[in-house]
């Protein structure tokens, strides 16, 4: 391949592109997406700030309806009617404001430097086009070259993602493939133009666990080889733990916590994150009883006032019902949208100026963990 981006990458800044040196690859600021519904306006994404640096893998985790997929669609400007990206939202990618680009220009970004891998391999492929032509189309759209050259690269991509008999498969159709093979084809399409950022929205949720492992190993290998960044959107805490360095946790349209992956799993700060972790049955530890989070996620047309998690939170107090907490800084690269964090931080400050550290915590975790605030 002759693409200059093929040059062995240090893995550090392959996507520096047009961005200022040191600027993040992707920067989402105050992203708001609303949907007009019969029940009123759904604020599906409500003020999300998120950053992805070149080459890194970042997780965006949350349950259904939290707004994580809509966030992905909004970045690529794929939110469809009746959805609307609110004025004032900003999405900068490689220094360009994607929300301000002309339609033609956003099309040039999509699938080129910025690619999306969907959840549903069954519906994301065109049933009446051959697999090879779907990959070649992406290549020809973004990188000039002959039809034959595009076809050759399509076959090469199929080989790269581990599809056996790539030449024959290129002339086949999606329905002839298993779920795992279709997901490989989607990865081939997403990576055909060697993107700098891949947004993978539940890329393996529809797949069996052994196939999931295979696909994720493949993605990992390709990421190392191409030096791209990955924003992994998932509900699966195991995947986040295993595959990401940094995590954003989303609940009810907002980010509720942001942390390095190890820090998040060793001491989650937000009661929602704590609740999620306690609710998952685990292979590596036997739990007598799962700590279920009571109630359910409210509809996006009726987010609760104050902290949106307060009706389900075991620690909620008056302020939580009255006033929405901001994302509060709590240590290096850590933020949490919880009034308790603020309280703990001030306790910590008090403790530092007065007597031995107060071991009392609000969630029963060891005091030593909360002292790292």
3-state secondary structure of 18: coil
Interacting residue with another protein among 23, 101, 277, 324 (CB under 8 A)? 277
Q: Is 323 one of the binding residues for another protein (CB under 8 A)?
A: no
Interacting residue with another protein among 286, 353, 356, 364 (CB under 8 A)? 286
Residue 220: which of 210, 232, 208 has the closest Cα? 232
Percent composition of the chain: helix, strand, coil (DSSP 3-state, to 5) = 35, 20, 45
Q: How far is the CB of 332 from another protein (least distance, A)?
A: 17
Chain positions 114 to 173 lying near another protein, rule: CB under 8 A, are 164
Q: Is 282 one of the binding residues for another protein (CB under 8 A)?
A: yes
Q: How far is the CB of 365 from another protein (least distance, A)?
A: 16
Q: How far is the CB of 308 from another protein (least distance, A)?
A: 14
Residue 25: which of 104, 117, 114 has the closest Cα? 114
CB of 7 or CB of 292, closer to another protein: 292
Cis before 18 (ω within 30): no
Q: How far is the CB of 183 from another protein (least distance, A)?
A: 11
Chain positions 73 to 92 lying near another protein, rule: CB under 8 A, are none
Q: Is 217 one of the binding residues for another protein (CB under 8 A)?
A: yes
Q: How far is the CB of 353 from another protein (least distance, A)?
A: 34
Distance CA 60, CA 52 (A): 11
Q: E strand or H helix at 60, and its extent? A: strand 57-61
Residue 327: which of 258, 245, 252 has the closest Cα? 258
Query: At CA 98, angle to CA 96 and CA 104, rounded to 5?
Result: 105
Interacting residue with another protein among 214, 342, 363, 369 (CB under 8 A)? 214
3-state secondary structure of 116: strand
Footprint of another protein on this chain (CB under 8 A)?
Answer: 63-64, 164, 178-181, 208-214, 217, 235-243, 261-262, 265, 275-277, 279-284, 286-287, 289-294, 296-297
């Amino acid at each position: 391949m002759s693409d200059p981006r093929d040059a062995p990458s240090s893995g550090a800044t392959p996507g520096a592109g047009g961005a200022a040196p040191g600027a993040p690859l992707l920067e989402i600021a105050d992203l708001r997406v609303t949907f007009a519904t019969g029940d009123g306006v759904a604020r599906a994404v409500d003020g999300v700030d998120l950053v992805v640096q070149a080459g890194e893998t970042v997780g965006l985790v949350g349950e259904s309806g939290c707004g994580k997929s809509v966030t992905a669609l909004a970045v690529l400007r794929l939110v469809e009617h009746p959805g609307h990206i609110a004025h004032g939202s900003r999405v900068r990618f490689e220094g360009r404001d994607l929300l301000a680009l002309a339609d033609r220009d956003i099309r040039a970004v999509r699938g080129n430097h910025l690619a999306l891998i969907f959840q549903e391999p069954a519906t994301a492929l065109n049933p009446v086009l051959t697999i090879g032509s779907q990959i070649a189309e992406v290549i020809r759209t973004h990188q000039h070259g002959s039809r034959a050259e595009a076809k050759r690269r399509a076959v090469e991509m199929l080989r790269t993602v581990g599809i056996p008999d790539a030449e024959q498969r290129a002339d086949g159709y999606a329905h002839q493939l298993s779920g795992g093979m279709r997901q490989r084809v989607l990865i081939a399409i997403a990576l055909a133009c060697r993107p700098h950022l891949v947004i993978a929205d539940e890329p393996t949720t529809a797949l069996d666990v052994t196939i999931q492992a295979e696909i994720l190993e493949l993605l990992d290998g390709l990421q190392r080889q191409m030096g791209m960044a990955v924003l992994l959107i998932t509900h699966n805490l195991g995947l986040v733990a295993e595959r990401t360095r940094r995590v954003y946790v989303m609940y009810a349209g907002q980010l509720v916590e942001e942390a390095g992956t190890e820090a998040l799993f060793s001491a989650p700060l937000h009661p929602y994150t704590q609740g999620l972790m306690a609710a998952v049955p685990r292979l590596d530890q036997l739990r007598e009883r799962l700590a279920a989070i009571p109630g359910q996620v409210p509809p996006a047309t009726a987010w609760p006032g104050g902290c949106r998690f307060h009706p389900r939170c075991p620690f909620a107090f008056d302020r939580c019902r009255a006033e929405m907490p901001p994302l509060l800084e709590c240590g290096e690269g850590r933020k949490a949208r919880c009034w308790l964090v603020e309280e703990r931080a001030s306790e910590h400050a008090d403790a530092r100026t007065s007597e031995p550290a107060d071991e009392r915590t609000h969630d029963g975790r060891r005091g030593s963990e909360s002292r790292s605030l």
